[in-house]
Amino acid sequence: MLSGDGNTGNTVNLISSLQSGTMADNNNEGHDGATIDQIASFTTAVLPQRPNVVLLHAGTNDMNLPLDPTTAPDHLGNLIDQIIAACPDALILVAQIISSGSATTQQNIIQYNAAIPELVAARQANGSHVMIVDMFSQLFYPSDYTDDLHPNDQGYSIMGDAWYRAIAYANAELGWLNAPVASEGSGHLVSCSRPPTWLPQGQIANGAGLGAKMYPDIVCVPM
């Protein structure tokens, strides 16, 4: 969702175990059809790289299959805790997931999203930099979707704006955006941030840029 913006001097490096799309930096951890528990199993490939921003939009497939929607919030909480344990200094943005064109899936999503604020508040109370991002209210129009579950490029751009606003608020108002630490075994900093001035980069528009530089290096992993 985010990539480097040459206009503001911010260095953004998406890190992941996957690459897809035509963006210059097309790393992502978006596993097609993955449930929350499956996502958790994939994090061992990317969290050792020590991202300092984690974008977590998880649960859509649990709601759509559906496996057991009533226990999905517990699985999400476990995944958040797994990320906190691996990257205790990271800003973790947890999305209330986007809506669905399927009435049954939509009802599951509404109930699931309602449980997320309590999960996030509990982690905040323990001192972790976990923040909720309301994606559900961002995408309402069929023109933002390719099907009942997945956004199109326009929808992803809207989501990117929402992620950015959360990052900017966490940095400016909460002081939760820390400079990245060295990734395990690398000995160097890899590098997410800024208000979006989206630049066409192929599959989805990307970029960022408002005001002074937040940090010289920022690491972001979209999941």
Cα 59 from chain centroid (whole Å) = 12
What pTM, to 2 d.p., does this model score?
Answer: 0.75
Burial class (CB in 10 A: 0-12, 13-18, 19+), 47: buried
Which range has highest mean pLDDT (65-69, 107-111, 139-143, 187-191)? 107-111
Query: How high does pLDDT run on average in the chain?
Result: 79
Q: What percent of the chain has pLDDT over 70?
A: 69
Q: Read off the pLDDT of residues 30-44 as tens digits, 9 standing for 90 and up.
A: 666 789 999 998 888
Summarize the confidence of residues 173-180 as an average pLDDT. 92
CA–CA gap between residue 37 and residue 58 (Å, rounded): 10
What is the predicted pLDDT for the residue at 193?
Answer: 43
What is the predicted pLDDT for the residue at 42?
Answer: 83
Summarize the confidence of residues 167-181 as an average pLDDT. 92
Give the CA distances from residue 69 to residues 47, 59, 100, 123, 170, in Å, rounded to whole numbers and listed in that order.
26, 9, 15, 21, 30
Which range has highest mean pLDDT (33-47, 89-103, 180-194, 209-223)? 89-103
**3-state class of 158 per DSSP?**
helix
Residue 183 near residue 5 (C-beta atoms within 8 A): no
